[in-house]
Amino acid sequence: FLTEQPSSFYFFDALSLLDDRLHISLGLRHDDIEQQYRDANGENRTATASQWTRRAGFVYKLRPELHVY
């Protein structure tokens, strides 16, 4: 690669419900990347990519010492 310029940002939130027995975690991430490279013919090229990624997690407390996720 001649140059590579990645950038990303991430959002996260956590919620507690049902008297703090249910925990929900939500995340959202966005990535951008731009790469400049030289192809087989020696010409400079630019490639770009962009992607959103989602995440969710759940934890339920059956008892104080027993959690299910």
What pLDDT was estimated at residue 61?
95
Nearest alpha carbon to residue 4 among 39, 40, 41, 32 = 32
List per-block mean pLDDT (blocks of 10 residues) for the chain, which spans 69 residues: 84 94 96 92 93 96 93
Nearest alpha carbon to residue 69 among 22, 27, 28, 29 = 22
First to last CA, the chain: 42
The span from the CA of 9 to the CA of 32, in Å, is 9
What pLDDT was estimated at residue 14?
96
Supply the pTM of this predicted model. Answer: 0.65
The span from the CA of 51 to the CA of 69, in Å, is 27
What pLDDT was estimated at residue 1?
63
